[in-house]
Amino acid sequence: MPCRLQESSTAIRYRPASCLPSSRSWHGRIYRPRRPSTDRTELLREGRIDGHGKLVDADAVISTPRRTPAEEGALPMEEPRVRIVTADKRSTDTPQTPGLLREVAFDGRNPDADRLSGFLSTVEPGAATGAHHHGDQETILYVLSGTARFRWGPQLENFAEAGVGSFVFIPAHIIHQEINASTDEETSWVVVRSDPNPIVVNLPELDHLAEPAARDTVVAE
């Protein structure tokens, strides 16, 4: 009997095992529950697809859940849905940097945040952050208020400013600093990072290279 895909009302399964030793799944989680998944978004394709394939043993159940089952016999996955986090539900329980307040809305603790994290960052009037980077994670910012000044590079030698409505891209591993040069208005921005578990590596040993906070600078009269 030729190899083929057998599909039931609840799962997609490769059979027989002796005929198809392995395949790849598209963006799938791979597990072997005691009962088949009830997720009807299941999809299985042969071959490597766009570099995201995963090796699958024959006779394995293939699914695309939002969360990885912790063990065999995991309950069916919750159906994906639109989620809203209101202002009063943001949390500061996330890695912080001196001079900057991060309020997380979505990260790995949210049921559906399995590829990204999102939060609001605010620098008070006249404040400046310490030098830091975000490991292998990429970051996109959208400026909501004020003017954000950025310094970056091994010596924080580069400089740019972004006003309201601007997007900013920060590559992985780039050492940088954010500054609010205004002593009257805070600057804030929406942040999306390329991982559900945000990384913040603060570098106090480079603070001597950082631009000082405007509110700490004494102007002689």
Stretch(es) of the chain classified as CATH 2.60.120.10: 87-216
Query: What percent of the chain clears pLDDT 90, i.e. is strictly above it?
Result: 53
Q: Which of 57, 51, 62, 70 is CA-nearest to residue 17? A: 57
Between residues 18 and 198, which one has the greater pLDDT? Answer: 198
The stretches of 46-103 forming alpha helices (DSSP H) are none
- What pLDDT, on a 0 to 100 scale, did the predictor assign at position 203? 96
Residue 18 pLDDT > 80, yes or no? no
Tell me if the bond preceding 204 is cis, omega within 30° of 0. Answer: no
Of 27-36, 51-60, 74-83, give the range with the top mean pLDDT.
74-83
Q: Is 25 helix (H, G, I), strand (E, B) or coil?
A: strand
Cα→Cα distances 119→56, 60, 80, 182, 207, Å: 35, 37, 21, 22, 25
Does the predicted TM-score (pTM) go above 0.85? no
Residue 66 pLDDT > 90, yes or no? no
Identify the CATH number of the domain defined by range 87-216: 2.60.120.10
* Average pLDDT of the residues in 23-37: 37
Q: Which residue bears the tokens 């959208």?
A: 142
* Average pLDDT of the residues in 175-189: 94
E strands of 8-164, at which residues? 12-15, 22-26, 29-31, 53-57, 61-63, 101-106, 117-123, 132-133, 139-145, 148-152, 158-162
pLDDT averaged over every residue in the chain: 74
Q: pLDDT tens, 118-147?
A: 999 999 999 999 999 999 999 999 999 999
Residue 165 pLDDT > 80, yes or no? yes
Query: What percent of the chain clears pLDDT 70, i.e. is strictly above it?
Result: 61
- 3-state percent breakdown (helix, strand, coil) of the chain, nearest 5: 5, 35, 60
Residue 45 pLDDT > 70, yes or no? no
Residue 24 pLDDT > 50, yes or no? no
**C-alpha to C-alpha distance for 24 and 116, rounded to whole angstroms:** 24
The stretches of the chain forming alpha helices (DSSP H) are none
- What pLDDT, on a 0 to 100 scale, did the predictor assign at position 221? 34
- What pLDDT, on a 0 to 100 scale, did the predictor assign at position 196? 94
Which of the four pLDDT bands, split at 50, 70 and 90, describes residue 110? confident
- The secondary element (H helix, E strand) that includes residue 23 is strand 22-26
Q: pLDDT tens, 71-97?
A: 445 555 567 788 899 999 999 999 999
- What pLDDT, on a 0 to 100 scale, did the predictor assign at position 93? 93
- What pLDDT, on a 0 to 100 scale, did the predictor assign at position 194? 96
* Average pLDDT of the residues in 185-205: 95
